[in-house]
Chains A and B, each alone.
Chain A
Amino acid sequence: MHPFDYYKPKDFDEAFAMLTQPGKKVIPLAGSTDIIPMVRDERWLPDAVVDIKGLPGLRDIKLVDSGPLCCAGQTAQCLYIGAAARMNEIAHSELVQQYASVLAQAAQEVGHEQVRNRATLGGNMGTASPAGDTLSALLVLEADVLVKGKDEERCIPALKFFLGPRKTALQPGEIILGVQVPPLPEGTLGRYLRISRRKGADLAIVGLSVMAIPAEGGYQWRIGLGAVAPTPIRVPEAETILATGHDEATVEKAIQATLAAARPIDDIRATAAYRREMVVQLTRRALQDIIAQIP
């Protein structure tokens, strides 16, 4: 494997200095499950990695008050998930199951047991693969991403965080501290579904996050898709249709609107045509699942 140096900073100042060494390619490391295969395949050739998972707060899963940056203006507490929280910690967390069920479900679908014991939420986000399971869940949760550079922290809505395949809104030297999920009303329903070639140890061919949020006289819907566009996407057209109701004819219209939003490509995992068909099937299945739970 291509050799690189390893640093473990004791605080954020040291981390920033290590990540911004002039003339060097330095990658932040948390779970290692993306970095090691990418370096071995020589797709990434870092001079160094900076192990950030031990930095304060990065593995917390807790409720936090609204802040000046993320979660601003919220009257109830937000769910904070540190960037280095492992997929299994997220999937098994009662707090995440309660406050962000769709994210707990998505984390449970990542890789397999061994990977979920290492892979982190921040790593999934930083790698920004369009197929990353947790990403469409973050979009429908309208999570905020708290990031930190040299001195300043800033908050980026998840909807503006993913810019392209493996491209995020992070500036050089910035690391993800965690995400904050705004509070949702009681009775909110969420579902993450995915299709992959095999059930474990594979990336999604299509991933789908759906939420139904109780609103005046009905439900407000959110739909997010993964692996069918250069970034995870929301499908506002389908969400608008579902706001009018969820009878069979309306659901079919919403499925067609979701299909229209998908822009899949052919790759080693599936053809674009198969992905389009699976968007239809998954959307129908997820909507029916949620509708069946509506009291």
Chain B
Amino acid sequence: MLHEITLNVNGELHIVPVKSHHTLLTVLREQLGITSPKRGCENGECGACTVLYDGKPVNSCMVLAVEAEGHVIETVESLAKNGELHPLQKSFIEHNAVQCGFCTPGMLMSAKGLLAENPHPTEEEIKHALAGNLCRCTGYVRIIDAIKDVADHS
């Protein structure tokens, strides 16, 4: 079944025909060309496809695209403003919190969601918020440090 829907992604409205069974991840990547959400496990485990959905982190592989009509979707593409990187992006660079980079967009969106709700989280709260984001280069310490740095200096 095909649905003609309007998706609000990164502040832009996209009118897009979507199939009932296609996930938000599939439509973002394959129909809108927004490729920062990564296709990892596609099972709600790895968090590589994390986007903000009405400001809250969700796995875009766990949402049907058709469900997302009327909701506000944000991906990493929305973070930099006027050529200036977001403080979280700068901090990830400064702390070398990136190795292969595959998990990074999801990490950034989970971190953004956390800081919006809790601007000064403890290290435990950061770990809890990132429990659904896996990094197989095992770089968690630097990622947590990068987020903590932003939280401490905001």
A residues with CB within 8 A of B: 1-6, 8, 29, 32-33, 36-37, 39-40, 48-49, 51, 88, 111-115, 117-118, 198-201
Contact = CB atoms under 8 A, between A and B. Distances in A.
Contacts of B129: 113
A21 to B, nearest CB: 13
Contact of A113 (B42, B61, B110): B110
B62 A36 contact: yes
B21 A39 contact: yes
Contacts of A111: 44, 132
Q: What DSSP secondary structure best describes chain B's contact surface?
A: mixed
Contacts of A6: 1, 3, 20-21, 64, 66
B58 to A, nearest CB: 5
Interface in B14-73: 19-23, 42-45, 47, 50, 53, 56-59, 61-64, 66-67
Contacts of B110: 113-114
Contacts of A2: 21
23 contacts: A1-B22, A3-B19, A4-B21, A6-B3, A37-B44, A37-B62, A40-B42, A49-B20, A51-B67, A112-B131, A113-B57, A113-B129, A113-B132, A114-B44, A114-B47, A114-B132, A117-B53, A117-B56, A118-B58, A118-B63, A200-B128, A201-B44, A201-B131
B34 to A, nearest CB: 18
B21 A32 contact: no
B113 interface: yes
Interface residues of B, number: 32
A118 B53 CA distance: 10
Contacts of B42: 40
Nearest to B55: A117
Contact of A199 (B59, B62, B114, B131): B131
A209 B73 CA distance: 36
Nearest to B50: A114
Contacts of B56: 88, 117
Contact of B20 (A5, A33, A201): A5
Contacts of A117: 53, 56-58
Contacts of A118: 58-59, 62-63
A14 to B, nearest CB: 16
Contacts of B20: 3-6, 48-49
B55 to A, nearest CB: 10
Contacts of B19: 3
A39 B22 CA distance: 12
Contacts of A114: 44, 47, 50, 57-59, 62, 110, 132
A201 B129 CA distance: 11
B113 A40 contact: no
A36 B65 CA distance: 12
B21 A1 contact: yes
Most chain-B Cβ atoms within 10 A of its Cβ — which of A51, A111, A112? Answer: A112
B74 to A, nearest CB: 13
B131 A200 contact: yes
Contacts of A201: 44-45, 131-132
**7 interchain residue pairs of minimum CB distance:** A200-B131, A112-B132, A6-B20, A5-B1, A112-B131, A117-B56, A114-B59
A4 B113 CA distance: 32
Nearest to A36: B62
Contacts of A32: 62-64, 67
A27 to B, nearest CB: 12
Given A6-B3, A112-B132, A113-B132, A36 B58 contact: no
Nearest to B69: A8
A113 B44 contact: no
Contacts of A198: 131
Contacts of B45: 201
Contacts of B50: 114
Nearest to B63: A32
A135 B64 CA distance: 26
